[in-house]
Amino acid sequence: MRVAELSERLAITPDTVRFYTRIGFLRPRKNPDNGYKEYGAEDLQRLKFILSARGLGFSVDDVGQILREADQGKSPCHATRTLMATRLRESEQRFREMLALRNKMQAALTSWETVPDCPPSGHTICHLIEAFSEQEWSAEPGLDSSTEMDAMKDETEAMNKVTSKR
């Protein structure tokens, strides 16, 4: 099996196969006739595993750690659990940040609907951006009316529906 066949079987690009080969996750033998890399059944299994792990949110480094332990005959399960817990925490952190950013972006776009365009002057570059950011600074957090939170909630529900549909 060469890169093309292996990548087709798993519906990924040849570049992904080359990448995992380059970093040592796959160990094809080198065909001495033409220098091409020949992948075997074990590589197929490993690649399937790599894709599963990546799909679960593990980083490439995580996968490498798990693979190394497994290659040494040790059970990688403990590492798997620990790493997943860490990745989940990170994911929730980023999730929160994204939620906040998204709300800010929506607020900006909405507030800009009632503001006209204006050319850059000596003390502003883009009035839209500068005005919104200043307003943000002055708006004290803590006044968070439930209105905004309800809006976030509703939107997130709507997103969940969209997500489920796809």
Distance between start and end Cα atoms, the chain: 34
Q: Is 3 within 8 Å of 31 (Cβ atoms)? A: no
Q: According to CB under 7 A, which residues from 108 to 137 bind DNA? A: none
N residues, the chain: 166
Stretch that binds DNA, among 17-25, 78-86, 134-142, 150-158 (CB under 7 A): 17-25
Contacts of 25 (CB under 8 A, 6+ apart): 46, 47, 50, 63, 64, 67
Q: Helices marked H in 10-165 — which ranges?
A: 14-22, 41-55, 60-71, 77-112, 127-138, 146-165
- The site string for DNA over 74-113 (x = CB under 7 A, - otherwise) reads ----------------------------------------
**The entry of a copy of itself, DNA, none that residue 130 binds, CB within 5 to 8 Å by partner kind:** a copy of itself
Least Cα distance to 10 among 50, 70, 66 occurs for 50
Q: What residue type is 147 in one-letter code?
A: T
**The entry of DNA, a copy of itself, none that residue 99 binds, CB within 5 to 8 Å by partner kind:** a copy of itself
Interacting residues toward a copy of itself by CB under 8 A: 45-46, 49, 52-53, 55-58, 66-67, 70, 73-78, 80-81, 84-85, 87-88, 91-92, 94-96, 98-102, 104-106, 108-109, 112, 116-120, 123, 125-130, 132-133, 141, 144, 149, 152-153, 156-157, 159-164, 166
Q: According to CB under 7 A, which residues from 28 to 57 bind DNA? A: 28, 33-37, 54
